[in-house]
Amino acid sequence: MASHGLKSWVDKLKSNSLPVLGSVVGELNKITGSEDSDVNQLAEVILRDPNLTSHVLKVANSVQYNYTNAKINTVSRAIVHIGLKGVRAICISSLVMESLLKDKPKARVLELIAQGFHGAVQARNLLEKMDHESSEEVFIGALLFNLGEMAFWSLEDIDENNQDLVSESPKVRRDAMEKILGTSFKAITRELAKEWKLGDTLEQALYPRSDASEKVKAVVTGERLSRAALYGWESRQLKKVLQEVAEYTGMSMEDALKRVKEGGDQAAEVALSYGVPEACPLIPNSLEDYINDKPEKASRALKGDSALQLSILRDLSSATNEGIDVNTMFQMVLEGMHRGIGLERVCIAFVKGHKLVAKYVLGEGTEHWRSGYAFDVGPYSDNIFVETLEKGGARWYTQDYADKNKHMYPSDVITVVGKFPCFTHAIDIDGRKVAIFYADRWNLGGKLSDTQFDSFKHFATQAQISLNLLSRRTQERRGKSFY
């Protein structure tokens, strides 16, 4: 991190983070900016790069562009169908994503990419009816609004743990940028935008004037929506920007909120079409109820039932003495955690080699866990599950912990379970840590409590007692362990 000052950082990011971008973007700009340009010239540039060709065709066939479902098989047809500027936007977006996501992307890079896709779709939706011709320029402007910061965090020698650079306090953040960078992320983005001619809209949106164009206003509002939505659809931050959206579009607050939430869903689809599935869980979706529907939202949060907890614990103890099979035992424990304690998402995952793999899951939002819940817990890994296995027993990971220890939530963990307050408990059988219980309340409106943590520990401890007892019986009968 010897670089200091605007020019040093721009040169470093161009050569290390985004080396391929400059020459290709230059060609794209030359072709799409000329009145004499044709489909074949642009197609030739795209077809020289097999990855870019594949990306263009994939996006061209997505719901975003292909409303007829008639498959587009050639780049030439994609250009005719979408237009020169539209395909240029796809190419630039794809090249940036490919550069930033090489190897194993950092969590902060994924967060910014998710925010970029969300802001880009919101901005395009705001402008589309008023100025359809400029919608792709606005999309690029919002997607790359944080290009300088994305490129910075993608550098290998950058320490992800510098909390001041991601502080929610503008002053703390500004001071950290001045100390570490000698400039600002916005200034770096503007210089990159100038060098690669990414458009006046992006340059002006970074430092908007009072007489800003509608395109610039759309980019600024889209980017602000992407940040405000991270606080929740009911947050005061979102309401403030939503008021501006309502004024901008002439919609009521209710209709504006509905459209903005739909934009979140669209953004996840767009990220998927661009080959960035890791960003999808980081984009706020419309599953939460509208701001004015608080009673309905509250009803979605589970309520614990102490009588049911006690009943299941008694059944579990009796069933263990009667020789219950392991599968039934796990299902009983998960049901007790889910229905009895009121924990929305629960899971038990087993250690297999250096992997932690889910076997039993329960609750809304766990549908994909059986295929996706497989985390590295080897000697060179670092995440909340590794820590749970190393320290043993029960752990409560709070939101404050997550904010201060982002390295404990690598991209593979965020992609599958997100980054919510949660309980974990390592299961030790015959001196070996063989499994972990995981439980959280997801985004359904409930908060974890001390009472729930005590109950969670009680169920996990009872499960461990049952497993050890069943293991000893199995070894006595078969001469080996069951797990």
pLDDT-derived band at 349, boundaries 50, 70, 90:
very high
In this prediction, residue 182 carries a pLDDT of: 92
Domain-located, residue 24: yes
In this prediction, residue 297 carries a pLDDT of: 37
Do residue 276 and residue 355 come from a single domain?
no
**pLDDT for 17 beyond 70:** no
Domain-located, residue 180: yes
Instruction: Tell the burial category of 161 from Cβ atoms under 10 Å away from its Cβ (0-12, 13-18, 19+).
Output: exposed
**Residue that the structure tokens 């200034």 belong to:** 187
In this prediction, residue 94 carries a pLDDT of: 87
Give the residue-averaged pLDDT of 65-84: 82
Domain CATH code at residue 275: 1.10.3210.10
Do residue 256 and residue 163 come from a single domain?
yes
pLDDT digits (tens, 9 = 90+) for 145-194: 999 999 888 886 676 667 788 887 888 889 989 998 899 999 999 998 88
Alpha-carbon distance of 308 to 372, in angstroms, equals 31
Do residue 326 and residue 270 come from a single domain?
no
**pLDDT for 293 beyond 70:** no
pLDDT-derived band at 325, boundaries 50, 70, 90:
confident
Nearest one of 353, 354, 330 to 438, comparing CA atoms:
330
pLDDT-derived band at 383, boundaries 50, 70, 90:
very high
Nearest one of 352, 372, 351, 353 to 361, comparing CA atoms:
372
Domain-located, residue 156: yes
Phi, psi of 374 (to 5 degrees): -145, 100
For residue 123, which amino acid is it?
Answer: A
Tell me the helices (H) and strands (E) count for the chain, helix number first.
23, 6
Q: Out of 17-26, 121-130, 219-228, 413-422, which region has the weakest mean confidence (pLDDT)?
A: 17-26
Non-local (6+) Cβ contacts of 403 within 8 A are: none
**pLDDT for 287 beyond 70:** no
In this prediction, residue 220 carries a pLDDT of: 95
Q: In terms of pTM, does the model score above 0.75?
A: no
Q: Out of 165-179, 263-277, 294-308, which region has the weakest mean confidence (pLDDT)?
A: 294-308
Nearest one of 79, 100, 76 to 88, comparing CA atoms:
79
Query: What one-character-per-residue DSSP string does 294-327 give?
Result: HHHHHHHS----HHHHHHHHHHHHHHHHTT--HH
Domain-located, residue 483: no
Alpha-carbon distance of 302 to 295, in angstroms, equals 13
Do residue 402 and residue 451 come from a single domain?
yes
Do residue 277 and residue 358 come from a single domain?
no
Q: For residue 75, what is the enclosing H or E element?
A: helix 75-82
Phi, psi of 365 (to 5 degrees): 95, 5
Residue pair 144/442 in contact (Cβ under 8 Å)? The answer is no
Domain CATH code at residue 416: 3.30.450.40
Alpha-carbon distance of 86 to 65, in angstroms, equals 10
Q: What's the number of domains the chain is made of?
A: 2
In this prediction, residue 296 carries a pLDDT of: 37
Domain-located, residue 298: no
pLDDT-derived band at 439, boundaries 50, 70, 90:
very high
Alpha-carbon distance of 240 to 171, in angstroms, equals 21
Give the residue-averaged pLDDT of 194-220: 90
Do residue 113 and residue 170 come from a single domain?
yes
Do residue 263 and residue 387 come from a single domain?
no
Pairing of strands 432-440, 374-376: unpaired
pLDDT-derived band at 392, boundaries 50, 70, 90:
very high
Instruction: Tell the burial category of 200 from Cβ atoms under 10 Å away from its Cβ (0-12, 13-18, 19+).
Output: middle
In the chain, pLDDT over 90 holds for what percent of residues? 34
Domain-located, residue 464: yes
Give the residue-averaged pLDDT of 462-478: 77
The more confident residue out of 145 and 281 is: 145
Domain-located, residue 296: no
Do residue 259 and residue 325 come from a single domain?
no
**pLDDT for 76 beyond 80:** yes
Do residue 343 and residue 254 come from a single domain?
no
Q: For residue 397, what is the enclosing H or E element?
A: strand 394-397
Do residue 319 and residue 243 come from a single domain?
no
- Domain ranges, residue 25: 6-282
Give the residue-averaged pLDDT of 441-464: 88
**pLDDT for 299 beyond 60:** no
Last residue of a domain, one of 233, 249, 282: 282
Domain-located, residue 197: yes
pLDDT-derived band at 480, boundaries 50, 70, 90:
low
In this prediction, residue 291 carries a pLDDT of: 37
Give the residue-averaged pLDDT of 276-303: 63
Do residue 57 and residue 141 come from a single domain?
yes
Alpha-carbon distance of 347 to 374, in angstroms, equals 12
Do residue 316 and residue 270 come from a single domain?
no
Residue pair 1/158 in contact (Cβ under 8 Å)? The answer is yes
Q: Out of 69-83, 298-312, 441-455, which region has the weakest mean confidence (pLDDT)?
A: 298-312
Instruction: Tell the burial category of 325 from Cβ atoms under 10 Å away from its Cβ (0-12, 13-18, 19+).
Output: exposed
In this prediction, residue 457 carries a pLDDT of: 94
Q: How many CB atoms lie within 10 A of CB 402?
A: 17
